[in-house]
Structure 1
Amino acid sequence: MRLLSVLLLLWSVGASAHTHLTASVPANNAMLMKAPETLSLSYSAEVILLSVEVTDSNGNNVSFGFKPVTTAASQFSWPLPVLKPETYVVDWTIVGKDGHKVQKQYSFMVH
């Protein structure tokens, strides 16, 4: 039992050390009365941003000029086209300095 406790503690420390999204515009689960003009992602440390996709509720990609980045940074921003009222999903994939690939998503709604 003691070994299991030590292993769980080590795992939780390692898991929390991975780079994560600290802020986004639009924010996760935001309900906006006006379409956002930009998409901004901020991370807890410098990352290599492999991909970012914005899709509408039908799964259609929203083109906004994303290109993979080869230099590390902690903040990224792009202008968005005019978004019509509906729900959008932002999928992003990064590689942190620790070498771990992280893929997550969040959503927001334009009324």
Structure 2
Amino acid sequence: MRREKVNPDPSTCHFVFNCYVEKGYHTTAIEALNVLSLRMLGGEVKESLQEKKTELEESFVTSEDPEAETKIIELFRDSQEHLAAALLNLRWCSMLGVRVIWSEEQSPWAKGLSNKYG
């Protein structure tokens, strides 16, 4: 996918996550979900992810608001399905107690794939 510059979609995230979980690699499953969600955001968000990181993280990903999921869905209902799915995935990773990464360079999983399939 990376070599062909194909961004993942919600189905791809689900498939990859479930494959790792079924094999018992729970930490890797969450890291893969995080990275694939970042890639979805990279394809949808025009501004740099690093520029939008604080806003996305505070407003959606780590928000204590019990209505955060509903706000994500409502905000992106008509136009950006992938963006909503990516934010919901990142929120889920955060809720599991994992520090959300905002750069693939921070991910050993992404680095390993990049080195292996370059």
Please give the TM-score of this superposition, normalised by the length of structure 2: 0.25
Q: Whose strand fraction is larger, Structure 1's or Structure 2's? A: 1
Q: Whose helix fraction is larger, Structure 1's or Structure 2's? A: 2
